[in-house]
Amino acid sequence: MAAKDLEIDTSTLVKKPKKTLQHTHDNLLRKIAIPTIYCPGCGIGTTINAFLEAITKYTIVPHDNILVVSGIGCSGRASGYVNLDGFHALHGRAIPFASGVEIARPKMKPVIISGDGDLFSIGLGHLAHAARRNIDMTVICVNNAIYGLTGGQDAPTTPVGAKSRTTPYGKISFPFNLSHVAIANGATFCARYTVYEFIQLAKAIGRGMTHQGFSFIEVISNCHVNFGRRNNLGDSIAMRKMFKKVRVPMKEEDIGLDIRKTDIKYEVGKGFTRIPTGIFLNERDKPEEFSERIIDAYEFNK
């Protein structure tokens, strides 16, 4: 590109705008808490942005009926930044809290924004049983493949060979495929997207909230400070370019019953080499969700 094209052009600057301009989602944010505490370029901010885009554009659930619950971790702060009803639950116990709210008030739509360490290491039992009962909730799991908040220890999602603070010679045990775990336990809607695919992610969150039953949305995020730095994957820009390069869009028909096709592949030194994304499961002849069945049983025995 010529040097003339890269000159700074100040002729379009508006010094005194006629009205106060604000971000599209500014009325849904607690402005006192912004700027966020996240590292520059973190994917959790993009996930919150996609969630706000989903509840304004891609779903018809009223904002008064949405409850944001989050667990412990970097992504646990999400309930504090969003100006909706919310609760910052105990470590791993975001799903039990949301289940209680859903059973007591079936109109409410709980949305759980939490990390892989919170939902899949300490809270795995709760997630499995909420999926088994098919409770009407949306789980947005921000998967950054490491325990980011506590300093980069290895998580149940860290790929084989990846270095972390507690595995300095490379990890030797196998990681979870989070979507596989959720589908195996009975989730009726399951999707996976990276933080690069913003619109697809927002649409999937909107569809998951409209869906009656347990919906699970996995967001592949970048932890460039604790995961990327130790594995030579570069900064947030390099990691998002990697997501753009290695994502493989898949449809429900492509996968069928062979859920092994959705496995994430990782090579030492290269980073992720294959991330299948898309909506993996959307059960149309779905079973009734849990609170409706409770009401039915109560009226039958009355």
Q: Which of residues 257-276 bind other proteins (CB under 8 A)?
A: none
Stretch that binds other proteins, among 13-21, 94-102, 140-148, 179-187 (CB under 8 A): 13-21
Structure tokens at 210: 């409209």
CB of 143 to other proteins, least distance (A): 16
Q: Cα 32 vs. chain centroid, distance in angstroms? A: 24
Assess 30 for contact with other proteins (CB under 8 A).
no
d(CA 124, CA 247): 26
CB of 22 to other proteins, least distance (A): 8
Q: Which of 2, 3, 17, 256 binds other proteins (CB under 8 A)?
A: 17
CB of 198 to other proteins, least distance (A): 4
What does the per-residue mask of binding to other proteins show for 219-258, with x meaning CB under 8 A?
Answer: ----------------xxx--xx-----------------
CB 113, CB 142: distance < 8 Å = yes
Is the Cβ of residue 38 or residue 176 nearer to other proteins in the bound state? 38
- What does the DSSP assignment read for 92-158? T-HHHHHHHHHHH-TT-EEEEEEEHHIIIIISHHHHHHHHHHT-SEEEEEEE-SSBTTTTSB--TTP
Assess 27 for contact with other proteins (CB under 8 A).
no
Q: Which of 3, 21, 172, 257 binds other proteins (CB under 8 A)?
A: 21
Contacts of 149 (CB under 8 A, 6+ apart): 72, 73, 74
For residue 282, the surrounding DSSP H or E stretch is: strand 271-282
Residue 187 burial by Cβ neighbours in a 10 Å radius (0-12, 13-18, 19+): buried
Task: Give the three-class secondary structure for 186.
Answer: coil
Assess 32 for contact with other proteins (CB under 8 A).
no
Stretch that binds other proteins, among 16-24, 132-140, 161-169, 179-187 (CB under 8 A): 16-24
Assess 5 for contact with other proteins (CB under 8 A).
yes
- What does the DSSP assignment read for 42-101? -HHHHHHHHHHHHHHHS----GGGEEEEE-SSGGGGHHHHBSSEEEE-STT-HHHHHHHH
CB 270, CB 200: distance < 8 Å = no
d(CA 122, CA 126): 9
Is the Cβ of residue 196 or residue 272 nearer to other proteins in the bound state? 196
CB 108, CB 67: distance < 8 Å = yes
User: What does residue 26 show for φ and ψ, rounded to 5 degrees?
Assistant: -65, -30
Q: Which of 34, 184, 294, 297 binds other proteins (CB under 8 A)?
A: 34
Q: Which of 25, 88, 165, 229 binds other proteins (CB under 8 A)?
A: 25
CB of 267 to other proteins, least distance (A): 24
Is the Cβ of residue 43 or residue 271 nearer to other proteins in the bound state? 43
What does the per-residue mask of binding to other proteins show for 35-54, with x meaning CB under 8 A?
Answer: xx-x-xxxxxxx--x-----
Q: Which of residues 87-146 bind other proteins (CB under 8 A)?
A: none
Assess 199 for contact with other proteins (CB under 8 A).
yes
- Give the residues lining the site for other proteins (CB under 8 A): 1, 5-9, 12-14, 17, 19, 21-26, 29, 34-36, 38, 40-46, 49, 198-199, 235-237, 240-241
